[in-house]
Amino acid sequence: DAKTTQPPSMDCAEGRAANLPCNHSTISGNEYVYWYRQIHSQGPQYIIHGLKNNETNEMASLIITEDRKSSTLILPHATLRDTAVYYCIVRAVNFGNEKLTFGTGTRLTIIP
Amino acid sequence: DAGITQSPRHKVTETGTPVTLRCHQTENHRYMYWYRQDPGHGLRLIHYSYGVKDTDKGEVSDGYSVSRSKTEDFLLTLESATSSQTSVYFCAIKSSRDGQPQHFGDGTRLSIL
């Protein structure tokens, strides 16, 4: 699996857009980019994923560069409840025979 | 939220005792996983299942066994618990559809004294 690099921590003002970068320069053509977050000691929460195109759902938007070597997770209007550790994971689809490798992630703090 | 229930949510037990953790899903998903999370290690895969009675080892399977006799239940057993198995255990499920993500339960906090 491709390795990912994320900044260890970021702050964002409440109500502003939070933009979380992820570098995955060794990504292969069949590898998806997944984003999860973990709030306190809760289970990791799936946010969004994509292969090539930009994606948007009710939680966030995912922007993947044309060369696929990096991506950005955008939380459009951050709230205090978005304070969490965010993980960017790159994983090839392999008929479910897979483990997700969670790195150290980005600790996002939303400032009131 | 994905229909995943882990039980118990918290357990304290003594070294040498057997412990079974249960993961129950209502999504009828084919794939189920057990991870443990420890400070400094992130999430590590213990075992996973790709169908009823079909299981395989993950990266930290020593000291653990699993069983899946029904689609909805995936059990993790510590035959003789040790203090090194004190951890937070997460179950995850995944659809067999291409590219779908894993969805996680709320975890079981296990302390072995």
pLDDT digits 0-9 by tens, A27-39: 988 888 999 999 9
**Which residues in chain A show pLDDT less than 50?**
none
Residues of B whose CB is below 8 A from A99: 33, 35, 45, 48, 58-59
In B1-113 the beta strands, taken as DSSP E runs, fall at: 4-7, 10-13, 19-25, 31-38, 42-51, 54-57, 64-70, 73-78, 87-94, 103-104, 108-112
Could you tell me the CA-to-CA distances from A57 to A12, B56, B66 in Å, in that order? 21, 33, 35
φ/ψ of A43, rounded to 5, equals -65, 150
Q: Tell me if B74 sits within 8 A of B32, measured CB to CB.
A: yes
Please report the pLDDT score of residue B22 as a whole number. Answer: 98
Residue B89 sits at the chain A interface (C-beta within 8 Å): no
Identify the band that residue B113 occupies on the pLDDT scale cut at 50, 70 and 90.
very high
Mean pLDDT for B75-86 is: 96
Which pLDDT does position A97 carry in this prediction? 59
- pLDDT tens column, B5-50: 999 999 999 999 999 999 999 999 999 999 999 987 778 899 999 9
* Interfacial B residues in 23-82 facing A (CB < 8 Å): 30-31, 33, 35, 42-43, 45, 48, 50, 56, 58-59
Q: Is there a contact between A44 and B90 if contact means CB atoms under 8 Å apart? A: yes
Chain A CB contacts of B59 below 8 Å: 99
What pLDDT score was predicted for residue A91?
82
Q: How many Cβ atoms from other residues are within 10 Å of residue A68's Cβ?
A: 19
